[in-house]
Amino acid sequence: MLSSLMSSSSCFPRLRLSSPRGRATATLLTAALLLWGCNDSESGAPGPAGMQMPPAEVLVEVVTPRHLVVKTTLPGRVQALRTAEVRARVEGIIQERRFTEGTEVDSGELLFQIDPSTLQADLDAAEARLARAKADLTQATLKQKRFANLLKRKAVSQQDYDEAFALAKQAEADVAAAQAAVARSRIDLEYASVRAPITGRIGRALVSEGALVGNSGATHLATIEQLDPIYVNFTQSSSELLRLRRGSEGQDLSVEDPHVTVLLEDGSEYPHGGKLLFSEMTVDPGTGEILLRAQLPNPERLLLPGMFVRVSLDQAEYKQALTISQRALIRTAQGDMVMSVLPDGKVVPLPVKTDRAQGDRWIIKSGLQGGEQVIIEGLQKARPGATVKAVVAESTSTDNSSSDGAPDRTPDRTPEMAASTDGVK
């Protein structure tokens, strides 16, 4: 009788009754069983002197539809809005550097001064050639007019007039060429004053005063980067994007003007939000990733080109999302489930399907309607059919700003859960 009693009890482990120690232990356990009852975790179990044990307390949360924004966090890199290389466009000696390295410069501001003496001489020569061309044009024009009058009186031949006419046209072309040469010389002279092509922060000077520049090409003098606003480039795997879109089927989702938040290298949040500019429609065959770009204001110049950051991006919005705590989800061989407490205190298992993790919570795809009380603490006391006392948790809110990722931990099945849920499908 002792052996059958011990083997049928779910509260005691199997004992080897063949040893004296095992027989003594079994005797003590049998006495305790007769006095206090076999299963003190089941409500309604008889207590001392025939008293009923109170129902076990469990902590529950009420499943409530809520607005939820799904975010994902991706590594990114900062890039300047515009980058301009300041180069020498004419040959000469650097006479002066007019800026302080690492400061902000305005478009059109003088940066370097190249010795203009040679260029000024070239301009003077071009202007002299223009004056000579104009004199030649005047002479050719007068000769053409004189030959035209003589032709009317048959004093010159038609050939002589045609030659005079051609010389006048040639003189006009010479004047035009000389004017173009003057204009080019003036431009070259202006290029001797190297000015900022854009507004932004200028880096270090790559040449010093006295250096010869432009003799073998456009010498790189400095670089200017526009830092406000600024770009952040990041990538997302095509498989992750596909999982997000497939997981969103059948949900009340909308994505309009997705908000971008940047986390700096020290873990702090960048104080200005940004917006997503574009998402490339092609996948890089080498990496399987899609390039994304966001634009953010950068008035304090906290973001600098080349910095590595983390980008939190809104990717989906649930108007009426049902979420549960990670602690409420139970994984079994038959699938995921939660333990729900009915109004009368009875515990019932409910099979569920999850969509994705959001922070420390699961988004439920199916299995819950809203209003259920799901157990988040005390699952080891909550066998299906048992009566428990439900205590509603103070707060069951989720952090909508959490990044999309796998949950930290899903409750494992205790031996009691395994015995109680193996038959639930």
The full DSSP string for 82-116 is EEEEEE--S-EEEEEE-S-TTSEE-TT-EEEEE--
The answer for residues whose C-beta is within 8 angstroms of residue 145's C-beta and 6 or more apart is none
Q: In terms of Cα–Cα distance, which of 36, 376, 422, 52 is closest to 11? A: 36
**Kind plus residue range of the DSSP H or E element containing 401:** none
CA–CA separation, 361 vs 323, rounded Å? Answer: 6
Residue 199 has pLDDT above 80, yes or no: yes
Q: What angle do CA 182, 185, 188 make, to 5 degrees?
A: 155
Residue 319 pLDDT grade (very low, low, confident, very high; cuts 50, 70, 90): confident
Q: What mean pLDDT do residues 135-164 have? A: 92
Q: Using alpha carbons, list the distances in angstroms from residue 43 to 54, 57, 192, 355.
A: 6, 10, 94, 35
Checking if the pLDDT of 191 tops 60, the result is: yes
The more confidently predicted of residues 383 and 99 is 99
The Cα 341–Cα 301 span in angstroms is 54
- Say which residues have a Cβ less than 8 Å from residue 163's Cβ, sequence separation at least 6: none
* Model pLDDT, residue 127: 97
In the predicted structure, residue 421 carries a pLDDT above the cut 90: no
**pLDDT digits 0-9 by tens, 264-285:** 999 899 999 998 887 666 677 8
Q: What are the DSSP calls for 214-236, one per residue?
A: STTS--EEEEEEEEEEEEEEEEE
DSSP E strands: which ranges in 24-65? 56-62
| DSSP designation for 360 | T
pLDDT at 412: 46
> Which region, left, alpha or beta, applies to residue 370 given φ > 0 means left and ψ of -120 to 50 means alpha?
left
d(CA 26, CA 33): 10
| Per-residue model confidence as pLDDT tens digits over 366-399 | 899 989 999 999 888 888 988 998 899 886 444 4
Average pLDDT value for residue range 245-253: 51
Amino acid at 415: P
* Residue 400: closest CA among 359, 362, 364: 359
pLDDT tier at 316, thresholds 50, 70, 90: confident
How many CB atoms within 10 Å of residue 358?
Answer: 25
CA distance 280 to 292: 7
* Domains (range + CATH), the chain: 56-65+322-421 (2.40.420.20), 71-80+229-317 (2.40.30.170), 84-224 (2.40.50.100)
Q: How far apart are the first and last CA of the chain?
A: 36
Kindly report the pTM of this predicted structure: 0.63
- Residue 293 pLDDT more than 50? yes
**Closest-CA residue to 231 (of 164, 298, 182, 138):** 298
What pLDDT does residue 43 have?
A: 44
The pLDDT score that the predictor gives to residue 3 is 47
Rounded CA gap, 69 and 404, in Å? 10
| DSSP output for 302-334 | ---TT-EEEEEEEEEEEEEE-EEEGGG-EEETT
Cβ neighbours for 259, distance < 8 A, ≥ 6 positions apart: 273, 274, 275, 313, 314
pLDDT at 117 exceeding the cut of 80: yes
Report the distance separating Cα 380 and Cα 378, nearest Å.
5
Q: Note the maximum CA span of the chain.
A: 155
Report, as an integer, the average pLDDT of 348-372: 88
What are the structure tokens assigned to 404, written together? 């999309």
Lowest-pLDDT range of 16-20, 73-77, 313-317: 16-20
Residue 23 has pLDDT above 70, yes or no: no
